[in-house]
């Protein structure tokens, strides 16, 4: 039950440190400082190409994972939303790995894409939260998330657990492919192990985010910007906001702003910028300054260093713990979830049962 919480979504956001830790237990050997996967009926080392297919929030987890598979393991990745996948007649070379990501394990388009891939000689890996689901049963490699039942229609804790599993999978693939040294693997394990505490630290800003929700609640349109692995988080932030608060929101790669969307900027459009310190920080900030120069009202989400450097002149700032870029997408999921949540509460919408949406989409 909801216990001390007002909504399931809020409860599930706050469960993230616990369920991510639980999930990681199945994918990390702490004593050996190794990533580990369940048994699989094929040789992972022989995989030459990965095709990732999912819908909605699970698709955004896949989008983050594409960066990891390519940077760690140097394996090329195709990525599709499930409803588009079969119809573009994808080229599936025998021996490829097709990876499906789903909370429910029943999403009709994702399941159809899985079956299509199986018919085309792909090995089937599934990251899924419901272990008894159709997708779980049809997998060659079953990678469960241990998020527990997710009741709020907007996916939150399933997403962070998907990211945890995908990071471990990408690191393991890199190890078996000889692209990741022992030291690098130990670093990945260390950073992943730090994720639950970092999620807790991010949750500590709940009240501060609640206090600034009134700045976003009156908006008709909101933009979210991010770069690299935080670009999918911008898309996820926009999806969360539109589905539960009914405010029109778009996520953009921050470098794309000047190719069109910057024309939308005025004082009435809040722009949420996701910019953890790291190799992409300066570039994102310079895109943010372009927005500010046109009167845009910015909410900057960064760590103490980032806010010290670029926080001045923003409408609001949200401080995140300073984390390694690997776990930034997990940690930055928290403020975008909380912002959507508090804006929806401020607007009085039905947070757990948004209009027109179902928890499990079993029609194509």
Q: Is 359 a catalytic residue?
A: yes
Shortest distance, CB of residue 62 to ligand F6R, whole angstroms? Answer: 10
Q: Which residue is nearest to ligand F6R (CB)?
A: 56
Residue 135 Cβ vs ligand F6R, minimum distance, rounded to whole Å: 8
Long-range contacts of 41-45 (CB under 8 A, 24+ apart): 41/140, 41/141, 42/123, 42/140, 42/141, 44/97, 44/172, 44/173, 44/176, 45/176, 45/177
Smallest CA-to-CA distance from 164 within 358, 331, 330 is with: 330
Residues 14-33 that bind ligand F6R (CB under 6 A): none
Task: Select 42 or 246, whichever has its Cβ closest to ligand F6R.
Answer: 246
Judged by beta carbon, residue 40 or residue 361, the one nearer ligand F6R is 361
CB proximity list for 166: less than 8 A, separation 6 or greater: 61, 62, 64, 65, 68, 101, 127
Q: Contact between 107 and ligand F6R (CB under 6 A)?
A: yes
Exactly one of 118, 242, 347, 359 is catalytic; name it.
359
CB atoms within 10 A of CB 41: 9
Q: How far is the CB of 304 from ligand F6R (least distance, A)?
A: 30
Residues 108-137 interacting with ligand F6R (rule: CB under 6 A):
110
Name which of residues 240 to 299 contact ligand F6R (CB under 6 A): 243
Q: Provide the minimum distance between the beta carbon of 232 and ligand F6R in the complex, in angstroms, as a whole number.
A: 13
**Where does the chain have alpha helices with state H?**
8-14, 16-25, 56-68, 82-85, 108-119, 134-137, 157-176, 182-203, 206-216, 231-245, 281-293, 304-310, 328-347
- CA angle (148 as vertex; 145, 152 as ends), nearest 5: 110
* Per-residue interface string for the shown chain with ligand F6R, residues 55-74, x marking contact by CB under 6 A: xxxx----------------
Part of the chain binding ligand F6R (CB under 6 A), chosen from 49-57, 141-149, 248-256, 325-333: 49-57
Q: Which parts of 341-360 interact with ligand F6R (CB under 6 A)?
A: 360
Distances (CA, A) of 108 to 112, 127, 135: 6, 15, 10
Q: How far is CA 24 from CA 54, 145, 189, 192, 354, in A?
A: 22, 9, 10, 8, 31
The least distance separating ligand F6R from the CB of residue 239, rounded to whole angstroms, comes to 6
Number of residues that bind ligand F6R (CB under 6 A): 15
- Site pattern 296..325 for ligand F6R (x: CB under 6 A): ------------------------------
Smallest separation (angstroms) from ligand F6R to the CB of 102: 3
Q: Is 114 or 288 the residue whose CB approaches ligand F6R more closely? A: 114
Query: Binding to ligand F6R (CB under 6 A): which residues in 215-244?
Result: 239, 243
* The two three-digit tokens of residue 151, written as one number: 């009741």
Expressed in percent and rounded to 5, the helix, strand and coil fractions of the chain are: 50, 15, 35
Dihedral sign of CA atoms 345, 336, 24, 141 in order: positive
Distances from the Cα of 185 to the Cαs of 28, 32, 66, 193, 325, in angstroms?
11, 11, 18, 12, 15
Binding mask 155-174 toward ligand F6R (x if CB under 6 A, else -) reads: x-------------------
- Span interacting with ligand F6R, options 73-81, 96-104, 171-179, 192-200, rule CB under 6 A: 96-104
127 within 8 A of 143, measured Cβ to Cβ: yes
- Near ligand F6R by CB under 6 A: residue from 16, 103, 254, 287: 103
Catalytically annotated residues: 359
Residues of the shown chain interacting with ligand F6R in the complex, contacts defined by CB under 6 A: 55-58, 102-104, 107, 110, 154-155, 239, 243, 360-361
């Amino acid at each position: 039950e909801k216990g001390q919480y007002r909504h399931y979504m809020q409860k599930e956001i706050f469960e993230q440190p616990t369920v991510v830790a639980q999930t990681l237990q199945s994918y990390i050997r702490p004593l050996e400082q190794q990533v580990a996967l369940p048994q699989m009926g094929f040789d992972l080392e022989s995989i030459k190409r990965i095709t990732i297919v999912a819908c909605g929030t699970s698709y955004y987890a896949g989008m983050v994972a594409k960066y990891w598979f390519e940077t760690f393991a140097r394996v090329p990745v195709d990525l599709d939303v499930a409803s588009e996948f079969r119809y573009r007649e994808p080229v599936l070379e025998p021996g490829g790995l097709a990876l499906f990501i789903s909370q429910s394990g029943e999403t009709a388009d994702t399941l159809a894409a899985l079956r299509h891939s199986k018919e085309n000689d792909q090995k089937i890996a599934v990251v899924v939260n419901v272990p008894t689901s159709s997708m779980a049963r049809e997998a060659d490699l079953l990678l469960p998330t241990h998020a527990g039942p997710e009741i709020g229609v907007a996916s939150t804790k399933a997403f962070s657990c998907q990211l945890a599993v995908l990071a471990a999978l990408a690191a393991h693939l890199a190890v078996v492919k000889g692209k990741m040294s022992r030291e690098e693997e130990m670093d990945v394990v260390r950073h992943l192990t730090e994720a639950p505490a970092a999620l807790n630290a991010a949750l500590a800003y709940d009240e501060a985010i609640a206090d600034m929700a009134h700045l976003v609640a009156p908006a008709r349109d909101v933009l979210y910007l991010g770069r690299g692995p935080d670009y999918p988080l911008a898309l996820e932030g926009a999806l969360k906001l539109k589905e539960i608060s009914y405010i029109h929101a778009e996520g953009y790669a921050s470098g794309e702003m000047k190719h069109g969307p910057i024309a939308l900027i005025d004082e009435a459009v809040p722009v949420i910028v996701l910019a953890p310190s790291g190799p992409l920080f300066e570039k994102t900030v310079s895109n943010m300054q372009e927005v500010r120069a046109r009167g845009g009202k910015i909410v900057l989400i960064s760590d103490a260093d980032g806010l010290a450097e670029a926080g001045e002149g923003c409408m609001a700032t949200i401080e995140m713990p300073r984390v390694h870029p690997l776990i930034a997408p997990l940690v930055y999921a928290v403020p975008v979830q909380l912002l959507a949540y508090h804006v929806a509460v401020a607007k009085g919408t039905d947070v757990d049962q948004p209009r027109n949406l179902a928890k499990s989409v079993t029609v194509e």
